[in-house]
Amino acid sequence: MNAKQPTDLKCRTKEFALRIIRLHSALPKKVEAQVIGKQLLRSGTPVGAHYREAQRAKSTPDFISKIEDGLQELDETQYWLELLMESGLVPVSRLQLLWQEADELIAILVTVAKKAKA
């Protein structure tokens, strides 16, 4: 991992959480959208916290565990985004960039976890 990556991921995961918060605030007031939105908020905002915790891990297994916790949250976030898209509650075009960012963060964290395991 290069020296710049932790700072970049720290900022990137925080920005991801902020985007999730803004999306939640803008969701329709329909019950369905609010229920999914709360789940999205719960899964999408802790990714950065898991990454920060990993940076302070006490051991390699602890580091890997925290990174994998972040991966689980990202996967769940994508699930809730899928439901918002496929239900028609939010236009797909509005969620595409957020979906893409989740996908890219997953790829990065998978690589980080694999390197730590090696």
Asked if residue 105 lies in contact with residue 13, where contact means CB atoms within 8 angstroms, the answer is: yes
CA–CA separation, 20 vs 77, rounded Å?
9
Domains and CATH numbers, the chain: 5-20+29-47+59-117 (1.20.1440.60)
pLDDT digits (tens, 9 = 90+) for 50-93: 999 999 999 999 999 999 999 999 999 999 999 999 999 999 99
pTM for the whole thing? 0.89
